[in-house]
Amino acid sequence: MHLTIKYFGMLTEITQCDEETFAFTQNTVLELLNSLFIKYPLLKDKDFQVALNNELVPIESEISSTEIALLPPFAGG
Amino acid sequence: MKEHNVKNIFKEGPIASEFIGNAIAKHQSKITIGAHTIFLGQVRADTIDKKNVSAIEYTAYETMANKKFHEVREAAFAKFNLTCMHVYHSLGIVKAGEICLFVFVSATRRKEVFAAIEYVVNEIKAKVPIFGKEVFEDETHQWKKNV
């Protein structure tokens, strides 16, 4: 499966991009994050949440959509 | 209760005082309204490690942000007896002293709007994925985090 991964805020300073396509053969968010931590070791130390289908999900969740977003702490207002 | 469509709450750059004034003027035809509350978020020139914040650059996960705001809006209409509600948030650079958030809540009586405005602002800060880069006068930066 090809996933589109979106990065926001401080996370883009680590990934050097705000979106990328990622070939992924496993199932869960946690498995995806472990792959991303190999590609971007500094990501591991950052505080962020994961959204699928515009909803925050626990990292044990199965990836059910082709777009996934990594969201650092919110700062609106 | 009437259903509302998902709206785009974002505006590029700061929210001008003329825009806020016009929003108030547009409500003069809605004569069942007896009370409005307005919340304006303004970029503060915080001093951090002896450096002053000169601006905040806002970005957002816009599809999720508009959806989450829509949920906040629906929840507010369910919770309070409101006539209408308008919310705008900036994207891009907003300098210290400029307005980045405009929340405008209207009802027949004041009790509802005082409670609703606090609820809506708190929910936006907690649930809507907006990110802020605090830019200092020397062009270094740090990432803002709501507490």
Distance CA A51, CA B20 (A): 33
Say if the Cβ atoms of A77 and B59 lie within 8 Å: no
CB < 8 Å to A69, chain B: 61, 64, 129
What string of pLDDT tens digits covers the 147 residues of chain B? Answer: 556 788 999 999 999 999 999 999 999 999 999 999 999 999 999 998 899 999 999 999 999 999 999 999 999 999 999 999 999 999 999 999 999 999 999 999 999 999 999 999 999 999 999 999 999 999 999 999 988
Give CA–CA dist A73/A46, Å, rounded.
10
Torsion angle of C-alpha atoms A58, B60, A13, B94, degrees rounded to 10: -140
ipTM of the complex: 0.95
User: How many residue contacts between A and B have a Cβ separation below 8 Å?
Assistant: 72
Average pLDDT along chain A: 95
C-beta atoms of A74 and B59 within 8 A: no
Report pLDDT for B64: 97
Q: Which residue of B has its CA nearest to A19?
A: B61
- Contact between A72 and B124 using a beta-carbon 8 Å cutoff: no
Please write down the HEC assignment for all residues of chain A. Answer: CEEEEEECCCHHHHHCCCEEEEECCCCEHHHHHHHHHHHCHHHHHCCCEEEECCEEECCCCECCCCEEEEECCCCCC
Using an 8 Å CB-CB cutoff, list chain A residues near B144: 75
Partners of B90 in the β-ladder:
B11
CA distances, B64 to each of B7, B32, B61, B75, B128 (Å): 12, 33, 6, 16, 8
All residues of chain B having their beta carbon less than 8 Å from the beta carbon of residue A55 are 64
User: pLDDT value at position B65?
Assistant: 98
Percent of chain A with pLDDT over 70: 100
Encode pLDDT of A26-50 as tens digits: 999 999 999 999 999 999 999 999 9
Closest residue, chain A, to B100 (C-alpha): A77
Q: Least CB-CB distance to B129: which of A10, A71, A77?
A: A71
pLDDT value of residue B25? 97
pTM for this model (two decimals):
0.94
Which single residue is written with the structure tokens 């705000």?
A: A18
